[in-house]
Structure 1
Amino acid sequence: MITLSMALPSFAVTEYISFCLSSISFLVESIACCTVFQASCVVLCLAACRDVMRASSGVERKVSFSSLPSSLRGASMVNRRSGISAPFSAMFAVGDQLGSIKLLQPDQHFRILHTHSHTVQRLSANSGLQQLAAAYSDGSAQLFDISAEKSLQQWSEPRLKSGQRYIGLQCTPKHVFSCTSNGALRMTPVSVQNSDPLPTHSNALLPTRLCDWRLSVELDTFAYGGDEVSLSVWNTERAFQNQLQEPSSSKRKHQSLFPGEVWRAKNAPNDHLGLRQPIRITTLTYLSPSSGSRHLLTGTQLGSVQRYDTRTAKSVSDWKISKVGGIEALEQGFNPYEIFVSDSESNLFSLDSRTGHICYKYKGLAGAVTSLAPSPASIVSVARDRYCRIHSTFAPPDQPGQQQEHKGEVIHKIFTIGSPTVVVWVGDPPSSTTVPSPKDGTDNEDNEIWENMKDVRDEDKPTKRRKV
């Protein structure tokens, strides 16, 4: 069992109060007319109004996870349409504007890990060590032990100014990387034990007006982009060895690379009117690494998703996803060629990274999705309508251009008091070792063993010979 506080908006409370007053006047008229049936009905209405007023006054409302679908309570998740099951044992961390960090684990409960006085802007989990890093709007940051539910370290970013925010956070086994919108990059060492002295942290300076920052899976490079800031890839080690310096001329500023910078994208060509197209990168993510190059995706304020290959400076693909609003969140899924994209018009899509084709769209979203957390069996989203939703996922078709056979849907949604700002998946990734299937010859080897074994009962029986 868990407890969730649900507060109604002020206009709803006003309507319920007016309804109570009208019900009381109707009760007086009913008693005057001595109509027992009408009086009983009004008494029931007043009881319902009392429950509503208690909910609006902040009385906590108990919600049981027994109301969740059986797919979320057990060890597997079954899609209602296709009947395809997949293991579901994930745990997610959700941060909100009130400063609370909650752990959502469907087979147990939804509990509060930590409460802070400022908004949670970024979260990052290290599933191997069961650690969770959090960055807040006041410039402070903390590292938590999820299993012990305690704080391990805390520090502050003094370079974060008023009006700036954290735009990147990554928790690794040895360090916690953080980046702010004004280009303050920090590498904080992780202490294994509280008694160990902490080494000195490292700082680096990046361009300002950043909107998103990501660290690669190999930890050797990171990428960023922003408002009039082109997509750029840096070497992680060299970034902390060299300080950012302003170039001597404006021409060199746009052409040369900074110390530690290994690649920078070029802006798109001018439009049909000959006007320069603005750079409005709102979010970005790394794609699965390939030999000799890196592939990245960016979402723009103009509603486009652009794909980049570091072997060329210009984008190799430009897909128009949102017709009206900009791209809010962009994450790579666990299935091959699977990309999840949300926009400011309350849309959430599953995208094929090979063609940019929309595989399917999730229905029933009333608010714009601001953060996504993919897992091997599902994806969790948080939106501006204060709901945390659990979605089913299906891989894109094997061949590009084929019709999507199964489509994902919203399995369950949970209302939160504070508006959620970020969600991350907390759980061990699937093992890289593959279990051999019957097609791999495992069953054939077993069958050969059983066929070569002799049956004792057959040896006792005399063999019959056929007459010629």
Structure 2
Amino acid sequence: MSRFLLGDDLGNIKTLRYISTHKEEVKTRVTTVYKHDSSHEPASVQQLASSSQTNGLKALAAAFSNGSCFISTVNEDDVLEVLSEWKEPRSGGSKFVGIALTEDSVFTCTSNGMLRKSAFTAGQQKDVFKIPESHCGTLPSRLLDWRLSEDTQTFAYGGDEVDLSVWNTELAFESRSSPALTSGPIKKRKRNDDLFPGEIWRARNIPNDHLNLRHPIRITALSYLSSSAVSNNLVAGTQFGDLRRYDTRAARRPVSNWTAIAKVGGIKSMQKGLADHELFIADGGSSLYAIDLRTGKILYGYKGLSGAVTSIAPSPMIMASTALDRYVRVHSLVSPPPVAGSHQERKGGVLEKAYVTSIPTVIIWDKTVNKTPSEEYSAQDDDDVWNNMENIS
């Protein structure tokens, strides 16, 4: 089954494996693969990202609250080896709001708008896997989420009074202007529509309310739905619980604006599912929902959660989540109905949960798909049948 990697508030990194056998025996195994040195500055894991390298290694990048980052490998035996470390200067209580890992680069973004691309070379030897150079870019401050597209050609961000914006990844590091310094009060309102160098699209706020009052901009979570050279489809969640879908080729305002999806504390976490039209969101309470992107309606909610969900990690077979109640949960998945708006007969549920002694902060799927245990057991059972048959001469 799938393997998940999670970090906690003490700076430790663990793996989660969920095993289901043909005998309906379920086993959840949590293994600590990295332990933060308690004698050093306290640090919690804020962001994780993984990728597969051309040499067959599974790479893992981690960003911590004290500004430190590292890149490592995690083998199939759940052994983590740190290969290179660096530190991002902190200022004004900034934190990491995004991280992405490709075959040759690590991207990190902080809430104060510091964007960094650290290029590395991967090889079989530890001394070959290093970070020879890094490039920095400057984005607006007060960011709350940052995402890199799957083709790495663009990235998007949003935050507190920072509306959804899409940038060209290559041009962002060539820009010499400082958006963080120019994002203050503007005399003429028209200038607010001017794009920064490297910025290719910026959303426009929704129309004023019935009292002609401006809606505050609070983008708390976002996700790419698809990306291409001419268009990017994204979805953004707000502090007010609204879910907005954007098509950069169609308009600057959202093509769909579904209000009051999250009831408590707004949308805190969001991940696109692997099935078509599937999205998962979590609010500031203890609710975790599956959303149909065609209608914006809630397909089903997961019951039995006693703490606010901090992170979501869908995989092809199951989904894992972490919560403030110190539980890591494994959820079943049910694809959206073929016809939009039709009745959802089956609903997802909590398959298993594992208690961890510290508060888990982030969880990711490491993008590996192993043979399902049912397939392994079925093949083994077939062998046992043939081996136990009586020979007749």
Provide the secondary structure at the position in 2 that maps to 1:288.
strand
* 2:33 counterpart of 1:113: yes
Flag the 1:280–1:430 CA change in 2: closer, same or farther, 3 A.
farther
What is the deviation of 1:387?
Answer: 0.8
Flag the structure with higher helix content: 1
Distance 1:426 1:104 in 2: 10
Contact map agreement 2:118 2:131 (CA 8 A) in 1? no
Q: 1:202 aligns with which of 127, 132, 135?
A: 135
What is the deviation of 1:144?
Answer: 1.2
* Deviation digits for residues 237-283 of structure 1 (CA, Å, limit 9, x no counterpart): 00001123438964454111000000000001111111110000101
Once the two structures are superposed, the pairs formed by residues 178-327 of structure 1 within 5 Å of their partners are 178-193=108-123, 194-196=126-128, 198-245=131-178, 246=182, 250-251=188-189, 253-289=191-227, 292-311=230-249, 312-320=251-259, 321-327=261-267
Q: Which residue of 1 aligns with 2:87?
A: 156
- How many matched pairs? 342
Flag the 1:323–1:187 CA change in 2: closer, same or farther, 3 A.
same
Q: Which residue of 1 aligns with 2:48?
A: 123
| Cα-Cα RMSD | 1.9
Contact map agreement 1:206 1:244 (CA 8 A) in 2? no
Flag the structure with higher strand content: 2
Q: Which residue of 2 aligns with 1:465?
A: none
Flag the 1:361–1:260 CA change in 2: closer, same or farther, 3 A.
same
Provide the secondary structure at the position in 2 that maps to 1:207.
coil
Q: Which moved more, 1:160-169 or 1:373-382?
A: 160-169
Once the two structures are superposed, the pairs formed by residues 424-435 of structure 1 within 5 Å of their partners are 424-428=364-368
Q: Which residue of 1 aligns with 2:304?
A: 364
Structure 2 unpaired stretches of 5+ = 20-27, 37-41, 372-393
Q: 1:396 aligns with which of 326, 329, 336?
A: 336
Q: Which residue of 2 aligns with 1:174?
A: 104
Distance 1:362 1:272 in 2: 35
Q: Which residue of 1 aligns with 2:70?
A: 142
Ranked by relative contact order (alpha carbons within 8 Å, sequence separation 6 or more), the top structure is 2
* 4+ residue segments displaced more than 4 Å: 247-250
Flag the 1:282–1:190 CA change in 2: closer, same or farther, 3 A.
same
Provide the secondary structure at the position in 1 that maps to 2:226.
coil
Query: What amino acid is aligned across from residue 287 of structure 2 in structure 1?
Result: N
Contact map agreement 2:278 2:291 (CA 8 A) in 1? yes
| Normalised TM-score (structure 2) | 0.83
Provide the secondary structure at the position in 1 that maps to 2:170.
helix
Distance 2:349 2:205 in 1: 37
Flag the 1:101–1:225 CA change in 2: closer, same or farther, 3 A.
same
Provide the secondary structure at the position in 2 that maps to 1:318.
strand
Distance 1:324 1:426 in 2: 30
Provide the secondary structure at the position in 2 that maps to 1:105.
strand
Query: What amino acid is aligned across from residue 163 of structure 1 in structure 2?
Result: G
Provide the secondary structure at the position in 1 that maps to 2:18.
coil
Q: If you compute each CA radius of gyration, which structure gives the higher value, 1 or 2?
A: 1
What is the deviation of 1:151?
Answer: 0.3
Flag the 1:182–1:253 CA change in 2: closer, same or farther, 3 A.
farther
* Deviation digits for residues 55-104 of structure 1 (CA, Å, limit 9, x no counterpart): xxxxxxxxxxxxxxxxxxxxxxxxxxxxxxxxxx1000110101110011
What is the deviation of 1:360?
Answer: 0.7
